[in-house]
Amino acid sequence: MKMTVNRIRVVVLGSPRSGKSAVVVRYLTKRYIGEYSSTGDFLYTHRVAFDGAVSEVEIMDTSNCAIRGCLGEHVRWGDAFAVVYSVCERRSFLAAAELLSLLAQTRLPSCAAITLLGNKRDLEHAREVHAEEGQELSLRFGCQFYEVSAAESCAGAALAFHALLREARALALLLPAPRRKLAAYSVSKVIGTIFGKNSKSVRKKRPSLSI
């Protein structure tokens, strides 16, 4: 049987040390190695089959892109976004809120699949952000939400990525390519103005889970 192949580009965003690389490596290799290079962006490509079709998935594990000035480029490039914060670092949660705000303002609603990932849930004693706050933020922006621990298990990262890819594929089928391309606009302008401001609630409730 001939399978359809579509391409899904996933961008992983978030504060330094929130565990972006750990989550990506967990998803791709099922392994956790503890320390990861943070010298630049890494692009991983793999094929996944689900729901009877194959997708060519490109995952961009970013590093300091807000500072290095490539955030706008990543936002335009991606079809799907995983915004990672550490549940042990409130600052990373605030940065995640800013990133969601940026995505909401630069992509038309429903033109990008987005998931919010609260990582390091194994460090309960050091928790600074409650699960309810992550849930509330995801409701404000109408994105998916998962609390995960890259250190503790594969399940959370796998579930979160599969759900994100499923949504991205659904959007790709619903929206013709030219319109999707048009949907990303004025990214650099918005980046320059929104950080520090809150965005209003715009979208509907999505599933969420702690793993």
Q: Please, which of residues 36-75 interact with Mg ion by CB under 5 A? A: 38, 63
Helix (H) or strand (E) holding 91: helix 90-106
Among 9, 74, 107, 120, binds ligand GDP (CB under 6 A): 120
Q: Which is nearer to ligand GDP, 65 or 184 (CB)?
A: 65
Q: Which of residues 142-181 bind ligand GDP (CB under 6 A)?
A: 149-151
Q: Which of 21, 9, 22, 19 is nearest to 73 (CA)?
A: 9
Between CA 19 and CA 63 the distance in angstroms is 11
CA separation for the pair 46, 183 (Å, rounded) = 26
Provide the minimum distance between the beta carbon of 114 and ligand GDP in the complex, in angstroms, as a whole number.
Answer: 17
Q: Are 115 and 81 in contact (CB under 8 A)?
A: yes
Across the chain, where does the E strand assignment appear? 5-14, 42-50, 53-61, 80-86, 113-119, 144-147, 208-210
Site string for ligand GDP, 35-54 (x = CB under 6 A): xx-x----------------
User: Which of residues 20, 107, 169, 180 is near ligand GDP by CB under 6 A?
Assistant: 20
Q: How far is the CB of 124 from ligand GDP (least distance, A)?
A: 10
Indicate the residue among 65 and 112 with the shorter CB distance to ligand GDP.
65
Residue nearest to ligand GDP (CB): 19
The answer for residues whose C-beta is within 8 angstroms of residue 2's C-beta and 6 or more apart is none
Binding residues for ligand GDP, rule: CB under 6 A, are 14, 16-22, 34-36, 38, 119-120, 122-123, 149-151
